[in-house]
Amino acid sequence: MSALSFAAFVFIAIFVAALVGFRCQRFLPEKFTDDATEASVRSVLGMLSMLTAVVMGFVTADAKNSFDHAAKIAADTAVRLVSIDRVLANLDDQAKPLRGELKEAAQDWIDRIKSPEGDAHSDLQAVEQGRHFEELVKEIQRLAPTSEAEAAHQARAVDLAVDIMHDRWMLKTERAASTPTIFLLVLLAWLALEFFIFGLFANPNTAITVATFLGAIMVASAFFIVLDLEGPMTGPMRISTENLERAVAIMGQ
C-alpha cells in the first residue's frame, strides 16, 4: 500500500470513529454523562493522547533519520564518483572510456531519482544494476598500469568503487526495512479510540465537526510523512540530487 493510500485509510478510520462517537452519545445512560464521569474519561483520553504523541514522535524521528542517512549516502557517493574520475585521469588514455561509463552511470541514477516513479525497482532490477557497476570495477582492475604510481591510482579507484557498491546495497537493504505494518495499525487503533471517545463526549455542532475533520486530516498527513520518508527515492519527498549533479558536471574534465 502506498503512503497516500494508507494516509487516506487513516483519515477515513479516525474520522468515522469520531462520527460513530457522535452518534453513540444518545445511547449513553444518564449516569455516564455526569461531570465526574466525563472528567475521568477526559483524563484517560489525555494520557492516551500523550502516549500516542510520544510513539508517533519516535516513529517520525526514525523515518527522518533513515531519510537523512540515505541523503548522506548519495552525497558520499557523489564525492567518491568525482574522486574515482580524478584518479582515473592519472591513468592516461586507457582509462578515458571508463570515465565516460562512470559518468553515464551517475547520470542514469540521477535520472531515475528524478523520474515520476522515482528510483523504485524490484530486487532483480537492483541486482542487474549492481552487476553493471561490478563490471565497471572489473574493467578498472583490468587496466595495465605502467608505473608504481599508476598502480596505486588503480588500487585507489577500485577501493572507491567498492565503497560505492557497499553504500548502494546498504541503501537498498535499509529501504526494505520499513516500519512494520502491524505497528502502524496498532497506532491507528489508538488514534481511532481517541477520536471515538472525543466524539462520545463532545457537543456535536458544525464547528466541532469541522475541527474533527481537520484534525483527522492532520493525523493522516503525519502518517503520510512517515511513510513517504521511508522511501527516500520515491514519492513527493526525495533526497536531493544536487550533489550528484555537481559531481557529474565535474567528471570528465
pTM of the model: 0.77
Identify the domain containing residue 206 by its residue range: 3-250
Query: Furthest-apart CA pair in the chain: how many Å?
Result: 94
Q: Reduce the DSSP state of residue 121 to 3 states and report it.
A: coil
Taking the C-alpha atoms of residue 224 and residue 220, their distance in angstroms, rounded to an integer, is 6
Whether the CB-CB separation of 25 and 200 falls below 8 Å is answered with yes
- For the beta carbon of residue 90, count every other beta carbon within 10 angstroms: 15
Whether the CB-CB separation of 195 and 188 falls below 8 Å is answered with no
Q: Reduce the DSSP state of residue 248 to 3 states and report it.
A: helix
Taking the C-alpha atoms of residue 109 and residue 80, their distance in angstroms, rounded to an integer, is 14
Per residue of the chain (253 residues), give pLDDT as tens. Answer: 678 889 999 999 999 999 998 888 777 776 666 677 777 777 888 888 888 888 888 888 888 888 888 888 888 888 988 898 888 888 877 788 888 888 888 888 888 888 777 666 544 455 566 677 778 888 888 888 778 888 888 888 888 888 888 888 777 776 555 677 888 888 999 999 999 988 888 888 889 999 999 999 999 999 999 888 887 877 788 888 888 889 888 887 7
Domain total for the chain?
1
